Amino acid sequence: MAQKTRMMVLRRGDEDDSQRLVLPVNPKDVVISRPQNTLSYVTVRGETVHAARGSGLTQVSLETFLPAEGSPFYSGSSPLEGLAMLRQWEREGVPVRLLISGTDIDDLFLIVGLRQKLREGDEDLGIGIDLKEYKFVTMAETDVLGGETAGGLYQRADERSTPAVYVTGEGEDLWAVARRYLGDGSRWKELAEKNGISDPHGLSGGKEIYLA
């Protein structure tokens, strides 16, 4: 482990210091990432286009150990007590404030991963913690692009963008256009009425079809 040059503190929410854990030994490495949010669109030509939608949630991953009594790093607290506190926060899904002195990390996070490492002949307790930034927002159901179902499967919203106008290829028919862009071929009548088309079969190439 590298020499301790900064303080790292985990504390339950913004409550008092009765529920906090000061890491007695700093991790050799702390991985901090801020992935970009992107949204994918499919063009009329079938090309996939990715658009940036701003920075995502900050993620932090670290590995260290909680020293046992007799260790030169021992701070007077049992490593099992520290582990139990971390497990409780993870199990309850409560936001945890992570402070890393000397950095801009002083935010609320959720513990999304907690690992325990045991090494034969070593009474110190190795731990790995994965955290993701916690943001409390209130939004309508229609604002949510996707999420987890009760079964744990991720439901991703349809990110394909429906164009306002479609230019036909030679010999296409309205049924195929309606099926591709409206999701139901039987809606070809809507397109025929909207675009003043009397014969929905064998459309000439280059004809503009208004979809919306």
pLDDT tens per residue, range 143-156: 544 444 433 444 44
Cα–Cα distance for residue pair 51/159, rounded to 1 Å: 11
| 122 and 92 housed in the same domain | yes
Backbone angles phi, psi at 166, to 5 degrees: -120, 135
**Owning domain of residue 75:** 8-155
Shared-domain flag, residues 23 and 63 = yes
Residues 190 and 146 in one domain: no
Instruction: Please check whether residue 1 lies inside any domain of the structure.
Output: no
Tell whether 177 and 147 lie within a shared domain: no
The CATH number of the domain holding residue 68 is 2.40.30
Cβ-based neighbours of 104, under 8 Å, separated by 6 or more: none
pLDDT at 41: 66
- Please give the span between the terminal C-alpha atoms of the chain, in angstroms, as a whole number: 62
Question: Which one is predicted more confidently, 4 or 180?
Answer: 180
Q: Tens digits of per-residue pLDDT, 44-83?
A: 677 777 666 666 788 999 999 999 888 888 888 888 999 9
The distance from CA 55 to its chain's CA centroid, rounded to whole angstroms, is: 11
| Same domain? 141 vs 174 | no
H runs (alpha helix) in the chain: 79-92, 174-181, 188-195
- Domain total of the chain: 2
The reply to whether 27 and 76 lie within a common domain is yes
